[in-house]
């Protein structure tokens, strides 16, 4: 059955199986195409590879970067760094040997938008990768993809083969004398391997462990110790559209400092979980109500993770916060990769926090002692409280531990684990105290709302 929802600017979008597909001119990324996703004909009919043709035949690298700077596109992988500035830094690096890597190593709970884009828009991603690689004059180019994304890898391989047949990839592209290849790298499959320096380490046959930043920023010391441009899937899918339609078209939606749209992975206590493209600056409330169809069974919202479990939660009285990098940072949380997880009133927050604490513990690579021991001890204390064996001293110990280990690792995993517990205790300390007082979980529906969509 098809459902319809109305979003900003009163544009109609069609919802099928939890995925919003555009029926109007509002979207900046998603396009309706004929045929299977990997079939090139459908993509060509909507202007596919036109931007790549221009890059090959007429546009200089500096012109491409200038257009990206004008668009204001910021990385959609979590940090929100200006894309044009990053490309410029790699292009003008003093070291002539450079590399390009698309990071499709998505593995965080509640985040599955890259998987959707890989499955449905492989040609758009390929075109973005080709443009990025060519612009920075990369020696070699890779798409690092989550090992668990089998169907998506097959789609990508089929699409690359068809692009090669049309002369968009390979030797002497479109008769230009340009040679370019795009290789798929079967990723490690762990959460920490999605961190860009850990990803690059694993691509060189070493353990997927993050490197210290500074000095090991990929734009300076990346793959094989050379300058490397790393962008995520959504960022790259925006590139062909911006160059084909123009930066002024792209900036017509979104906010002044965060133009364009964002793909939101919406999961948890909503009627219609899925992936939704919405303008930057949309409120949390609109995403939940207009995209997710509200909370099941008329229950009330207890909390929302706006950017996944590594960022502080917001409560029901903060649902009118706008979803963009700067607004959420100002509010004390973060957008991250826009993995929104909704928690309703039936959910035990101690159980929910334990669920994610165990994730961080299990996904720690163990390289940094504060992270290895910190995540383990936080999960152990959370388990003790959830099982009814906790004390008031344990609450103080957790907060003290969070203060010790926060910000100490080579990556942000231990910081995310600390922020999770700090946020949970700050907002829902009374639930922890009830567990301690009753020596059990007081919620009769402690398991409700615990399932978070991963695909």
Asked if residue 72 belongs to a domain, the reply is yes
Tell me, yes or no, whether 161 and 309 share the same domain: no
Strands across the sheet containing 314-315: 3-6, 12-16, 19-22, 274-279, 261-268, 339-344, 301-305, 314-315
**pLDDT bracket for residue 385 (50, 70, 90):** very high
Structure tokens at 291: 């995209």
Same domain, 144 and 202: yes
Q: How confident is the model over 89-143, as pLDDT tens digits?
A: 999 999 999 999 999 999 999 999 999 999 999 999 999 999 999 999 999 999 9
Whether the pLDDT of residue 259 is over 90: the answer is yes
Instruction: Cite the DSSP H helix spans in 166-304.
Output: 196-203, 233-245, 247-250, 284-286
In a domain, residue 99? The reply is: yes
Joined tokens for residue 294: 């509200």
Same domain, 266 and 178: no
Residue 444: predicted pLDDT: 53
Choosing from 250, 270, 303, the residue where a domain stops is 250
Do the beta carbons of residue 267 and residue 341 sit within 8 Å?
yes
Q: Please give the average per-residue pLDDT across 197-213, as a whole number.
A: 96
Same domain, 33 and 81: yes
pLDDT digits (tens, 9 = 90+) for 426-444: 999 999 999 999 999 998 5
Give the H or E element holding residue 315. Answer: strand 314-315
> CA 257 from chain center: how many Å?
19
Is pLDDT above 60 for 445? no
Please state, as a whole number, how many other Cβ atoms lie within 10 Å of the Cβ of residue 362.
12
The per-residue pLDDT for 404 is 97
DSSP state of 361: H
Mean pLDDT of 245-274: 96
Domain boundary among 250, 274, 302: 250
Q: Can you give the pLDDT at residue 10?
A: 28
What does the pLDDT read at residue 28?
80
H-state helical runs in 177-295 = 196-203, 233-245, 247-250, 284-286
| Stretch 371-392: mean pLDDT | 98
pLDDT for 189: 74
Is the confidence at residue 88, as pLDDT, over 70? yes
pLDDT band at 452 (very low <50, low <70, confident <90, very high): very low
Measured CA to CA, the distance from residue 49 to residue 238 in angstroms comes to 13
- CA 256 – CA 238 distance, rounded (Å): 17
Q: Are residues 330 and 405 in the same domain?
A: no
pTM beyond 0.85 = yes
232, exposed or middle or buried, with CB in 10 Å at 0-12, 13-18, 19+?
A: buried
Evaluate whether 282 touches 323 at the Cβ level (below 8 Å): yes
Of 219, 250, 281, the last residue of a domain is 250
Tell me how long the chain is. Answer: 455
Of 4 and 62, the one with more pLDDT: 62
Percent of the chain residues topping a pLDDT of 70: 92
Look over the chain and give the mean of its residue pLDDT values, rounded to a whole number: 91
Tell me how many domains the chain contains. 3
- pLDDT range class, residue 159, cuts 50, 70, 90: very high
- Give the three-class secondary structure for 156: helix
Q: Would residue 443 count as lying in a domain?
A: no
133 vs 137: CA distance, rounded Å: 6
Inter-residue contact 173 to 167 (CB < 8 Å): yes
Mean pLDDT computed over 356-373: 97
95 in a domain, yes or no? yes
Kindly state whether residues 321 and 175 are assigned to the same domain. no
Range 48-74 average pLDDT:
98
Asked if pLDDT for residue 260 goes beyond 80, the answer is: yes
Overall average pLDDT of the 388-413 stretch: 97
Query: What is the mean predicted confidence (pLDDT) over 353-362?
Result: 98
d(CA 28, CA 22): 10
275 and 311 housed in the same domain: yes
Is residue 256 assigned to a domain? no
pLDDT average, residue stretch 24-41: 83
Domain assignment of residue 160, yes or no = yes
Q: What percent of the chain has pLDDT over 90?
A: 88
Query: Could you tell me which of 439, 412, 426, 424 has the C-alpha nearest to residue 337?
Result: 412
Same domain (yes/no): 370, 242: no
Residue 300: CB atoms within 10 A of its CB come to 10
Give the pLDDT of residue 226: 98
The dihedrals phi and psi of 258, each to the nearest 5 degrees, come to -135, 75
Clarify whether residues 173 and 124 are in a common domain: yes
| 44: nearest Cα among 56, 55, 57, 31 | 31
Confidence class for position 7, pLDDT limits 50, 70, 90? very low
Q: Is residue 86 part of a domain?
A: yes
pLDDT (0 to 100) of residue 291: 94
**pLDDT at residue 187 in the model:** 92
* CATH code of residue 319: 3.10.20.600
Q: What is the pLDDT at residue 248?
A: 96
pLDDT at 20 over 80: no
In tens, the pLDDT along 301-346 reads 999 999 999 999 999 999 999 999 999 999 999 999 999 999 999 9
353 and 326, same structural domain? no
Instruction: Answer whether the bond into residue 69 is a cis peptide, omega within 30°.
Output: no
Q: Are residues 157 and 113 in the same domain?
A: yes
List the domain range (segments joined by +) for residue 377: 349-438
Q: Judge whether residue 447 has pLDDT over 70.
A: no
The burial class, CB within 10 Å (0-12 / 13-18 / 19+), for 108 is buried
Using DSSP's 3-state secondary structure scheme, residue 122 falls into helix
* Residue 394 within a domain: yes
Band the pLDDT of 17: cuts 50, 70, 90.
Answer: very low
Cα–Cα nearest to 388, from 344, 426, 350: 350
Return the CATH number at 132.
3.40.50.11540
* Same domain assignment for residues 384 and 330: no
């Amino acid at each position: 059955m098809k459902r319809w929802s109305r979003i900003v600017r009163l544009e109609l979008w069609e919802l099928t199986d939890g995925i919003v597909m555009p029926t109007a001119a509002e979207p900046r990324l998603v396009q309706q195409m004929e045929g299977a996703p990997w079939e090139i004909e459908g993509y060509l009919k909507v202007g596919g590879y036109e931007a790549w043709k221009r890059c090959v035949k007429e546009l200089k690298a500096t012109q491409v970067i200038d257009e990206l700077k004008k668009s204001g596109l910021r990385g959609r992988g979590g940090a929100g760094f200006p894309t044009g500035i990053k490309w410029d830094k790699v292009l003008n690096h003093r070291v002539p040997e450079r590399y390009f890597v698309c990071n499709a190593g998505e593995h965080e709970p509640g985040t599955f938008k890259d998987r959707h884009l890989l499955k449905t828009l492989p040609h758009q991603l390929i075109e973005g990768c080709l443009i990025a690689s060519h612009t920075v004059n990369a020696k070699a180019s890779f798409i690092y993809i989550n090992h668990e994304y089998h169907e998506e890898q097959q789609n990508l391989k089929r699409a690359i083969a068809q692009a090669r047949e049309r002369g968009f990839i390979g030797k002497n592209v479109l008769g230009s004398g340009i040679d370019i290849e795009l290789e798929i790298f079967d990723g490690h499959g762990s959460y920490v391997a999605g961190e860009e320096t850990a990803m690059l380490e694993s691509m060189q046959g070493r353990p997927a462990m993050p490197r210290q930043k500074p000095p090991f920023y990929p734009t300076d010391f990346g793959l094989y110790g050379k300058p490397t441009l790393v962008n995520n899937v959504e960022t790259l899918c925006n590139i062909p559209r911006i160059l084909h339609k123009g930066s002024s078209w792209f900036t017509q939606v979104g906010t002044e400092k965060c133009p364009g749209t964002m793909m939101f992975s919406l999961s948890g206590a909503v009627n219609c979980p899925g992936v939704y493209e919405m303008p930057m600056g949309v409120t949390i409330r609109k995403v939940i109500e207009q995209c997710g169809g509200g909370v099941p069974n008329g229950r009330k919202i207890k909390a929302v993770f706006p950017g996944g479990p590594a960022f502080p939660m917001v409560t029901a009285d903060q649902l009118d916060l706008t979803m963009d990098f700067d607004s959420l940072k100002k509010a004390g949380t973060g957008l991250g990769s826009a993995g929104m997880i909704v928690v309703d009133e039936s959910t035990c927050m101690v159980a929910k926090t334990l669920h994610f604490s165990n994730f961080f513990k299990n996904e720690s690579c163990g390289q940094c002692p504060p992270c290895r021991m910190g995540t383990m001890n936080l999960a152990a204390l959370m388990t003790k409280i959830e099982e009814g064996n906790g004390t008031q001293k344990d609450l103080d110990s957790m907060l003290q531990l969070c203060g010790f280990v926060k910000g100490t690792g080579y990556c942000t995993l231990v910081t995310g684990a600390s922020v999770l517990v700090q946020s949970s205790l700050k907002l829902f300390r009374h639930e922890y105290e009830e567990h301690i007082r009753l020596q059990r979980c007081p919620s009769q529906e402690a398991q409700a709302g615990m399932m978070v969509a991963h695909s």
